[in-house]
Amino acid sequence: MDKLNKYTELEVKFNADVKDLNDFKSIVETQCGPLTLYCEGPDEYFLKPGTDSFKRFRHATYPANCGKQVTTKVKPEGAKNNINRIEKNLDVSNNEDELIRETIKDDGYIYNFTIVKYCHIYKVSDATLVFYTVFDTTHGAKESSRSFIEIEVDEEIIGMLTEEEGWQIIEKYEKILAPIGIHAQKRIRKSLFEMYANR
C-alpha cells in the first residue's frame, strides 16, 4: 500500500465544552504525557477566490517565543470532508506581520476572517492532541466562543505511513478519549475555515 504524501494533514476534530477541559487534561496527562505547550493568539485566514485553497497566518501572542507560521491548505479534488488534506507550513517568524500579509495577497489570496485560539497542546510520539477554544474576532471584539478537541497524526511521521496506519493512530487516541464522549461518529466534517468563512 502506498505511503501518504509527506504534506498530508490527517486529523479529526470534535465539538467540546469548556467544562471538558480538566477531564481531557487528566486523561491525556495520565495516559500519554505532560502538557507540551499552552498558547494563544490570532489566526488570520485568506481565501483564493474561486477555489477551496486558503492560507492561514498564525502569530501567537503568548508565549512570546511561539513564532509565526503561514499554512496553505488544499482539500483534495472530490473530497467530501476535511479529515485528509494537503497542508504546507512555512516558518515566517523573522518577517514583519504586514510583509507577510502583503505576500499572501500577492499570491492571489484575499483576507476573509480572524479567529483567536486558546490551545492546550500535547505532542506525543505519533500524534498531537489539542483542546482549544475559539473566538471570532473578525469585527474586533471577541464573539461566539466554541471549543474543540483535535487529534492529528504527527507531521514528522505522516510520510512514512500508509493511510490505514494513519487511521490506526487516530482510532487509538479516540479510544483513550472515549470517557469524555470522543468516538468516530462524532467527528466534525467541516474545517474551522468552513465554519467561520465569509463567503
Tens of pLDDT along 86-109? 899 999 999 999 999 999 999 999
Q: What is the CA radius of gyration of the chain?
A: 17
pLDDT of residue 87: 92
* Helical residues (DSSP H) of the chain, grouped into ranges: 21-31, 97-106, 163-176, 192-196
* Angle ∠(35,38,42) on CA atoms, nearest 5: 150
Helix (H, G, I), strand (E, B) or coil at 100: helix
Indicate the angle between helix axes 163-176 and 21-31, nearest 10 degrees. 120
CA 86 to chain centre: 12
pLDDT of residue 112: 95
Residue 22 has pLDDT above 90, yes or no: yes
Helix (H, G, I), strand (E, B) or coil at 22: helix
How does residue 188 score in pLDDT terms, banded at 50, 70 and 90? Answer: very high
pLDDT of residue 140: 74
**Do residues 14 and 24 lie in contact, with contact meaning Cβ atoms separated by under 8 Å?**
no
Average pLDDT over residues 50-73: 93
Query: Measured between alpha carbons, how far is 45 from 163 in angstroms, rounded to an integer?
Result: 28
Residue 143 has pLDDT above 80, yes or no: no
Closest CA to 74 of 99, 122, 109: 109
Helix (H, G, I), strand (E, B) or coil at 2: coil
Residue 79 has pLDDT above 70, yes or no: no
Mean pLDDT (the chain, rounded):
93
Query: Measured between alpha carbons, how far is 75 from 86 in angstroms, rounded to an integer?
Result: 7
pLDDT of residue 78: 63
Share of the chain above pLDDT 90, in %: 80
* DSSP classification of residue 162: B
pLDDT of residue 199: 61
Looking at domain 8-196, which of 2.60.130.10, 3.40.640.10, 2.60.40.10, 2.40.320.10 is its CATH number?
2.40.320.10
Closest CA to 26 of 126, 117, 119, 122: 122
Residues 112-141 have pLDDT tens digits of: 999 999 999 999 999 999 999 999 887 777
Share of the chain above pLDDT 70, in %: 96
Residue 163 has pLDDT above 70, yes or no: yes
pLDDT of residue 162: 95
Q: Which residues contact 87 (CB under 8 A, 6 or more apart)?
A: 7, 8, 9, 71, 72, 73, 155
Average pLDDT over residues 15-31: 96
